[in-house]
């Protein structure tokens, strides 16, 4: 697909704005073909179970998007909506049932969970063989060892974007801002496995702008709107913006998107950037788990 280029009269670099939706669609059509072949040969379609606790409107809309994406590639999905007052024991009991249900291949528990529920305990309850979200400690341990089959969805989506747009990773200086279990830590491992020199930054990092300025690849995953400024970015760097904050009804990334135009070589927008890739990698993981479980 042709990249969108943003012309800039005052600056020398034309910044590529990543079309995450187009890339996601092309990967999803490959996954759909795989599933069509499997079902044509008599296998049942893969199935993802999505669990939502509480009625956070953003989470509800995210899980709808995930289920729509399943349907779009011929994958089944089942939804379990639990009230916000559900106890941790009741959530884990549901996960146990899904673990034992042979018709379920992947399990995703949407985060954040209500106060008082341990996300770590819930992640541990998921059968590692069905860990489509790759949050079980066994799965993250395998990622650390470089032996994981199921890999966190957003980090996997980030790597696919870098590869699709031909960003060199080997030997690159990569700076990851944010050390979450879901993005910062796993993406730093994936970049390291591909021989980048990775610096992990966080809220206590001294001279964050100075460290960022050395980076060929910046991954911003803090959820702090427009915190990464244009003068933190080395000309020609690839900037992956994972953050999404709502400011006055508008979705804003961690990076000052407009200001880095003409400086960065590539940037992901807040809409149609990394989001569709995350969902696509959830589908990929579910299909992967299904194939491994069924031996097909």
Secondary structure letter of residue 294 according to DSSP: H
Residue 68: exposure state from Cβ atoms within 10 A (0-12, 13-18, ≥19): exposed
Interacting span for ligand GUN (CB under 6 A) from 107-115, 169-177, 223-231, 287-295: 107-115
Catalytic hit among 19, 67, 110, 265: 110
Range 152-211, binding ligand GUN (CB under 6 A): 153-154, 182
Please report whether residue 218 would count as binding ligand GUN according to CB under 6 A. Answer: no
CB of 109 to ligand GUN, least distance (A): 6
Catalytic residue, candidates 19, 105, 131, 133: 133
Radius of gyration of the chain (CA): 19
Q: Is position 241 an interface residue for ligand GUN (rule: CB under 6 A)?
A: no
Place of tokens 């559900």: 86
Contacts within 8 Å (CB) and 24+ apart, 90-96: 91/51, 91/53, 91/117, 91/122, 91/125, 92/121, 92/122, 92/125, 94/51, 95/51, 95/122, 95/125, 95/126, 96/125
* Smallest separation, CB 41 to ligand GUN (Å): 31
Is 110 an annotated catalytic residue? yes
Q: Does 110 bind ligand GUN (CB under 6 A)?
A: yes
Binding residue count for ligand GUN, defined by CB under 6 A:
9
Which of 77, 278, 280, 285: binder of ligand GUN (CB under 6 A)? Answer: 278
- Whether 239 and 274 have beta carbons less than 8 Å apart is answered as no
25 counts as catalytic: no
Interacting residue ranges for ligand GUN, rule: CB under 6 A? 108-111, 133, 153-154, 182, 278
């Amino acid at each position: 697909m042709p990249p969108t280029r943003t012309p800039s009269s005052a600056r020398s670099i034309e910044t590529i704005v990543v079309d995450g939706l187009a890339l996601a669609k092309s990967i999803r059509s490959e996954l759909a073909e795989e599933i069509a072949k499997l079902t044509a040969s008599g296998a049942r379609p893969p199935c993802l179970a999505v669990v939502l606790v509480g009625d956070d409107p953003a989470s509800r809309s995210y899980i709808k998007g995930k289920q729509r994406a399943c349907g779009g590639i011929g994958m089944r999905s089942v939804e379990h909506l639990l009230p916000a007052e559900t106890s941790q024991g009741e959530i884990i009991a549901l996960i146990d049932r899904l673990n034992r249900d042979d018709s379920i291949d992947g399990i995703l528990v949407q985060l954040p969970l209500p106060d008082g529920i341990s996300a770590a305990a819930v992640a541990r309850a998921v059968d590692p063989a069905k860990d489509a979200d790759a949050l079980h400690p066994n799965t993250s341990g395998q990622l650390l060892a470089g032996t994981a089959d199921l890999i966190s969805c957003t980090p996997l989506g980030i790597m696919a974007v870098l590869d699709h747009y031909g960003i060199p990773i080997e030997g690159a200086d990569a700076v990851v801002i944010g050390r979450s279990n879901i993005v910062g830590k796993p993406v730093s491992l994936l970049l390291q496995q591909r021989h980048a020199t990775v610096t992990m930054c966080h809220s206590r990092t001294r001279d964050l702008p100075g460290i960022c300025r050395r980076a060929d690849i910046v991954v911003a995953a803090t959820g702090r709107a427009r915190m990464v400024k244009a003068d933190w970015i080395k000309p020609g760097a690839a900037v992956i913006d994972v953050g999404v904050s709502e400011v006055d009804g508008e979705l804003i990334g961690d990076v000052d998107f407009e200001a880095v135009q003409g400086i960065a070589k590539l940037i992901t927008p807040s809409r149609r950037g990394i989001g569709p890739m995350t969902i696509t990698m959830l589908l990929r993981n579910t299909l992967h788990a299904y194939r491994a479980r069924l031996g097909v």
